[in-house]
Structure 1
Amino acid sequence: MGGGTREEDDSRPSKARRVDITPDPPCQTKHAHRAEGPAGVERSRDSAPVAPSSIMGATRAAPRYLLRVQYDGTNFHGFQRQANARTVQGCVEDALDAFAGGGGGGGGGGGGDGADTMRSSIVTHGSSRTDAGVHALDNTMHVDLPPRVSRREPTRALPPHEPHVVASALNHFLKKRGAPDVAVTRCIRVDPNAFHARFSATGRTYHYRMHVSPTPPSLFERGRVWHVCSGAGDRDAAGGGADGCHENAGHDGRWGLDVDAMRVAAAHLVGTHDFSTFRASGCQASSPVRTLWDVRVDAAPSWPPFPASPATDSTKPDDFSKVEVTEKPDEARRRSRGKDRARAPRGRADLGAATTGFDPATSRPLTSGGVVVTAVGPSFLYHQVRLMVATLRAVGAGEIDPASVPALLAARTPRAVPAMAPAHGLYLGRVHYDGTREWSSLGAVPVEEGAD
């Protein structure tokens, strides 16, 4: 089985959380794999795979490759392979099997009929097991491909595939077998006796994206950003759908988050602490102590990545003053009676660009639009980042004093902090390998349970 971390953590229950989706199409297919492939990366008709190498230490004849992968986690039941669910690892193994395996198919990618989905002849090992709905800009995994031998001369060994051939072939078979939401961005051949995708990793960077606005995010951003539609009371995780939220305004009718206060709170999380408060139930780590190198809060455009105004000076702004139908004042009052909600100013389009206002109580600037929380460290607990983000949002909304974060850490219970932020705003940004963490297939360096 593939080792690694779950979501933003290193320790998790062995079974990933399920989401109610219907993958279309599944990356697993029932027909036999054909030998065809993209130009230059066809499975050679003059070569035949042999039995795969052992799980941890590859034989000298089995080349090991590090794969850097990106994926949209919306329609996946997490990273780790499962017998009856569509997973990232399963889809990649399915593509590997089509390219270099025995062609039996099924890496747990598409789900379906039980054990038949776990028959891939090629096994991968991931560095980080992201949860259902979590995305990745850069996750990693390694694979030991079967040694190649000539079909015509079975005793003659063929050279290993070049890394660019492996990457191109995998992207071809991922698309062909119904997984266009996964892509191999880079492939590197590594020493099988000195590198492991999980145990050689020295750090991880996570990003969490929020869209702070009374209006919903763009259609193209739904499922990829947390819609924080007011200063207080936002609960995508507790109800309202994937992108829904309550329509109440923040404190004093304000919109936006106090990013400066969030930064003060984030500074208390940097360093080595007992993070039991930010550790979800089901965490299997033997110790709640973790080290964070950096926790950063930035204001950034959430959408769109285009100029906010037309480039030509001759273009006039929209004017609907002669055609817009509006309610009479008394009708508007009747409709809003008993409803405590704030509306976006009429005539102003919220494009998601980061903007600032001021809290009338403190005169501190408030940010609306895009807010991104970045956390960097060697390893994380189960749901640690999502619990921290929910707490930082509450700080930005004025619900929690930033100076109280040390007391929250000391409480050592997740009941002391708000419900965790939803999965779809979280991105695994990077898995780091700086060469300082040694691993050997002959005598693996002991690794604490639950650590990366």
Structure 2
Amino acid sequence: MTENPKHLLNSIPEPSRPSKIPKTQDHNDQEEEEDKQQEESNMSKNPRIQRYLIAIEYIGTRFSGSQQQPNCRTVVGVLEDAGVHALSNVCHVDVERISKRKPGEVLPPHEPSVVRRAVNHFLQKNEGDIMVIDVRSVPNDFHARFKAQERTYFYRLLSGSEPLSTFEKERAWHVPEKLDLHAMQEACKVLVGHHDFSSFRAAGCQAKSPIRTLDELHVSEVPATPYFPSVTDKEQSNSSLEDFQACSKPQVDRPINSFSNSDDVIDANVKTNQEFGIRRRHQCYVVTARARSFLYHQVRLLVGVLKCVGTGELTTSDVERILNAETVTAASPMAPACGLYLGRVKYDLP
């Protein structure tokens, strides 16, 4: 008995269709969402605990990183990367205030300003290279890592043949060669945006995806030492003051025959004497990198490539080739940690 072909067609089940096409997410969003769910499952639900968001500055030279490590002094251990500094790094802590006089009695939480002063009091008793710069009370479900909207890093390079100043050691990367600022700025344009940054991802990176969006990458020249005025700054300031005073005083004509060739010699000697003992300044360049999150050693690998562009070892085309290679072996040697500063972690605070 033959079957009806039409009946066979009707008996074939239609392929199942999803009721709704899922919205695509950025790889970084997926990773953070998974980590956030895991963290929330481990989060304390004790309503008596007050959570504080704490901003910290520190010199990272004598730290071995920010994660707890046995037998090492770390930011977490006493409080990023080993040797990296922070103008403002952020963490959260949970505090339950218990009465000393009546054990078991829970007291109202401390004001943030009290927490800041108390913590700094104990920190300064030790090495003194870490300090709390701000404290804010936040809800118990506020997470310093997952609530961060963007992070900004700065990297300092000092260019010049002179040896690095004692005050700058472990604070910047000393590059003896001259750097081409325009070439480095052009190379930054290649790297900004949404890319696969596998070429700028060090071994040991735990991120599940190398895809990141680099919102800003820029190189600028700044004063080498922002804390003290240079001799040139002083001379310009004194010159402006003298010009102002000269305009406010009556002018006295000097006889023509009173000028002599010895005036030039005196001026030259004075200038030479003024320069004695004054250290020559390096040219200081700052690389600014801003993104929601970064891969392991991403900023230092980016700076390593930009430095090679500045010295002429690489071109903008080479930077494109390195980015498209999608392997860290294609990148230039990584910049040292000493020049890297975590500048800011941005939040939308409640």
TM-score with structure 1 setting the length: 0.58
Question: Are 1:206 and 1:430, in contact at CA under 8 Å, matched by a contact in 2?
Answer: yes
For 2:294, what is the secondary structure of its paired residue?
Answer: coil
Matched, 1:301 2:301: no
| Partner deviation per Cα, 1:391-446 (whole Å, 9 max, x = no partner) | 0011111111113322211111122121100000000011111359xxxxxxxxxx
Kindly tell me: are residues 60 and 217 of structure 1, through their superposed partners in 2, closer, same or farther at Cα, counting changes over 3 Å?
A: same
Contact 1:91/1:179 (CA < 8 Å) preserved in 2?
A: no
- Tell me how far apart the structure 2 counterparts of residues 159 and 272 of structure 1 sit (CA, whole Å): 47
1:143-192 C-alpha deviation (Å, 9 max, x unpaired): 001242x344446432111100101000001122x131000000101011
| Structure 2 match to 1:185 | 133
Question: Is 1:201–2:144 an aligned residue pair?
Answer: no
For 2:278 and 2:54, the matched residues in 1 are separated by 45
Cα distance in 2 for partners of 1:317, 1:424 equals 36
Residue 285 of structure 1 and its aligned partner are, at CA, apart by 1.1
User: How far apart are residue 218 of structure 1 and its match?
Assistant: 1.7
For 1:291 and 1:378, locate their aligned partners in 2 and report how far apart those are by CA, in whole Å: 7
Kindly tell me: are residues 157 and 218 of structure 1, through their superposed partners in 2, closer, same or farther at Cα, counting changes over 3 Å? same
Distance 1:208 1:279 in 2: 17
Residue number in structure 1 paired with 2:118: 169
Q: Secondary structure at the match of 1:180?
A: coil
Q: Which residue of structure 2 lines up, in the alignment, with residue 159 of structure 1?
A: 108
Higher share of residues assigned helix:
2
Helix, strand or coil at the partner of 1:388: helix
> 1:143 aligns to what?
93
SS of residue in 2 equivalent to 1:317: helix
Would you say the 8 A contact 1:70–1:136 is kept in 2? yes
1:373 matches 2:287? yes
Map of 1:67 onto structure 2: 54
Structure 1 CA distance for aligned equivalents of residues 198 and 45 of structure 2: 38
Give yes or no for contact 1:395–1:401 (8 Å, CA) kept in 2: yes
Cα offset, 1:318, TM superposition: 2.4
Q: In structure 2, how many angstroms separate the alpha carbons of the residues matched to 1:152 and 1:257?
A: 64
Unaligned runs of 5+ in 1: 1-9, 12-53, 93-129, 231-255, 325-346, 353-368, 437-452
Structure 2 length as normaliser, TM-score?
0.75
Deviations 1:206-235 (A, max 9, x none): 0000000101222111100000011xxxxx
- Residue 126 of structure 1 corresponds to none
Q: Residue in 2 aligned with 1:99?
A: none
The letter of the residue matching 1:385 is V
Residue of structure 2 equivalent to 1:287: 209
Whole-angstrom distance in 1 between the partners of 2:109 and 2:100: 15
Aligned partner of 1:350 in structure 2 is 280
Q: Verify: 1:266 aligned to 2:188, yes or no.
A: yes
Deviates further, 72-81 or 155-164: 155-164
Which is worse superposed, 163-172 or 305-314? 305-314
1:318 equivalent in structure 2: 272
Match of 1:214 in 2: 161
Partners of 1:142 and 1:197 within 8 A in 2: yes
* Distance of 2:45 and 2:165 partners within structure 1: 47
Write the distance in 1 (CA, Å) between the matches of 2:144 and 2:274. Answer: 58
* Alignment partner of 1:426 is 2:328: no
Change (3 A) 1:183 1:397: same
Which whole-Å CA distance do the structure 1 matches of 2:226 and 2:272 have between them?
Answer: 19
Equivalent residue for 1:83, pick from 60, 67, 70: 70
Match in the other structure for 2:259: none
The one-letter code sitting in structure 2 at the alignment partner of 1:165 is V
Counterparts of 1:277 and 1:174 in 2: how far apart (Å)? 39
Cα gap change, 1:62 to 1:213, in 2 (>3 Å): same
Q: Write the letter of the residue equivalent to 2:148.
A: A
Specify the SS of the correspondent of 1:261.
helix
